[in-house]
């Protein structure tokens, strides 16, 4: 019996689409019938995760649970969430289901350790994700050296994530801002960058700037493919 994937999405919708595309393009397949069955609940009603963590905004777990129940009813064998900040709530969600929820941050940390041993990464993420310390914990567990953007750099990241990608504004005018952010972090000792918000792979793929980058969305897609006992393309 072939295993299936459930995407608990809507955080945001474009990031959800990006994850699905990466599952399809990274699955080794000779035709349509060689691909994994994927169920998607893109629940855009899920409250903002960063606001919930930092400023007492509405708890997103109720709406996340609604999507989880839909994916359970479809028969998903694993659940993946294309939102780094949402992983703060993963333990509460996991308590509500027997279906394994794959942890994107831990998967990413292990990939960093394997691909860039002895190198230092910079974690590019929302204030909410950085405030939880989840990436720090995952990277330290995997033995990965890292640095965290300062307040001004976090302002730039929040602008790109919320005021540009989530707001469906064009990215091209932000090219210099993005390049300057990366250059500044590189001068502080970063050898490569974790795109630790699922909007940021969209930024990196649209704007030409030197990396290298680790894309947690792509790492999560590959982990889900392997969980379902399919082969990846090796990209």
Report the predicted TM-score, pTM, of the whole model to 2 decimal places.
0.92
* pLDDT tens digit sequence for 185-225: 999 999 999 999 988 999 999 998 889 999 999 999 999 99
- Stretch 13-41: mean pLDDT: 96
User: What percentage of the chain carries pLDDT values higher than 70?
Assistant: 100
Domains, the chain, ranges and CATH? 5-103+218-227 (3.40.50.1860), 105-216 (3.40.50.1860)
Q: Which of 74, 78, 197, 228 is catalytic?
A: 197
> Does the annotation mark 197 as catalytic?
yes
74 part of the active site: no
Catalytic residue among 78, 83, 112, 228: 83
* pLDDT one-digit tens code per residue, 84-142: 999 999 999 999 999 999 999 999 999 999 999 999 999 999 998 899 999 999 999 99
Q: Which two three-digit tokens encode residue 174? A: 């932000």
pLDDT band at 235 (very low <50, low <70, confident <90, very high): low
């Amino acid at each position: 019996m072939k295993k299936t994937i459930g995407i608990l999405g809507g955080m945001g919708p474009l990031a959800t689409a990006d994850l699905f595309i990466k599952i399809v393009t990274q699955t080794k397949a000779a035709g349509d019938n060689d691909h994994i069955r994927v169920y998607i609940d893109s629940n855009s009603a899920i409250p903002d995760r960063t606001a919930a963590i930092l400023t007492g905004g509405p708890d997103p777990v109720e709406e996340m649970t609604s999507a989880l129940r839909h994916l359970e009813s479809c028969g998903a064998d694993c659940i993946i969430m294309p939102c780094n900040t949402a992983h703060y709530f993963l333990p509460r969600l996991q308590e509500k289901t027997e279906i394994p929820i794959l942890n994107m941050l831990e998967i990413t940390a292990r990939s960093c350790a394997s691909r860039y041993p002895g190198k230092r990464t910079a974690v590019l993420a929302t204030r909410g994700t950085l405030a939880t310390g989840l990436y720090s914990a995952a990277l330290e567990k995997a033995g990965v050296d890292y640095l965290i953007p300062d307040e001004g750099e976090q302002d730039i990241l929040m602008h790109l994530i919320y005021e540009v990608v989530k707001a469906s504004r064009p990215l091209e005018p932000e090219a210099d801002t993005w390049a300057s952010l990366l250059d500044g972090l590189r001068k502080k000792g970063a050898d490569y960058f974790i795109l630790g918000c699922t909007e940021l792979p969209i930024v990196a793929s649209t704007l030409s700037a030197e990396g290298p980058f680790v894309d947690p969305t792509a790492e999560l897609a590959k982990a889900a493919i392997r969980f379902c006992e399919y082969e990846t393309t090796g990209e």
